[in-house]
Structure 1
Amino acid sequence: MDLVTELGPLLSAEAAAEAPAAGVDPADLEQAVWLRLLERDTAAGRTPEAARWLRRAVRAEARAARRRALREVPYAALAPGGESSPERAALEGEEQRVLRSAVARLPGRCPELLRALLSPRDLTYREIAGELGISQGSLGPVRSRCLGCLRRMLAAEVAAPELRGMER
């Protein structure tokens, strides 16, 4: 019996069931599974167990599609003139490096306090105070002094550009 006619309806049904959750077109999912079957069939020299293998393959391809969707960024979002571009991403990355470098050079407990405040863990003042071993009431004034110091440091580093030509 022909493998395509035998497994085609089952594959179509499985792909139609899994595709919406994966955010892909059922036809794309079917095609990926047919390719996987072809690769496995030629590599092993035999046909795998039909229904059980097919269901597992569809689910595996759907999971892979979900993971890809989380990692991939549509090209339109990166296109020049869009909100985000490779140039803008590079500039933002450089700004982040400059800021991290300036924070690291702050005096006293300022570096660890600002790192805790900017942490992606989104800590509360109580958690930050516990981590740093200082009272919760002193976090505000210390933060204010640290930010003032950081502001002065960055203002000194970002000096006005030199005048050129006839502007002098």
Structure 2
Amino acid sequence: MTPHDLLSTLRPLLAAEAAAEAHGAGIEAADLEQDVWLRLLERTREAGPPAEPVRWLRSAVRTEVRSARRRARREVPYDPTAGDPAGGPERGGPDSCVEHAVLGAERDRALRDAVRRLPGRCPGLLMALLSRRDPTYREIAGELGISQGSLGPVRSRCLGCLRRMLTAEVAAPEPRGKER
């Protein structure tokens, strides 16, 4: 496949994939497309065109989206009134970053523990959705042995069950014995 054929074949698919994924990552679809084209150019220069261009393209889009999400978590908007950025936890310095990381890890652990306590197929489905591999609905359905069309309704029921379970665990009683 010539580079021109590869470009004309992948252009509509990349535009669709970028438009679908960019909003969730908080980036512009055009920026995502540009990043993937650059990745393809670098790859063809080093190892030639991919053997399965469509599969490679989808994987590259998801990789770039995950990378954009990681960058967004690390970026801090510039605030000239904030003072010294390395001034300690009360000013958003390095200690607060460690604290946020520890609290985030604790929150993730608590969520995964709660998901494991769910009934039926819910733990498998929600753990697949929480996976760092970022599997597609088709991959999840294949792993769980259920139809792709039933994933949405099952996911909704599982999330509702998880919400009720966590609400019951966290809810504090109101005055005079009433619960929220």
Report the TM-score when normalising by structure 1. Answer: 0.48
State the TM-score, normalizing by the size of structure 2: 0.45
Structure of larger gyration radius? 1
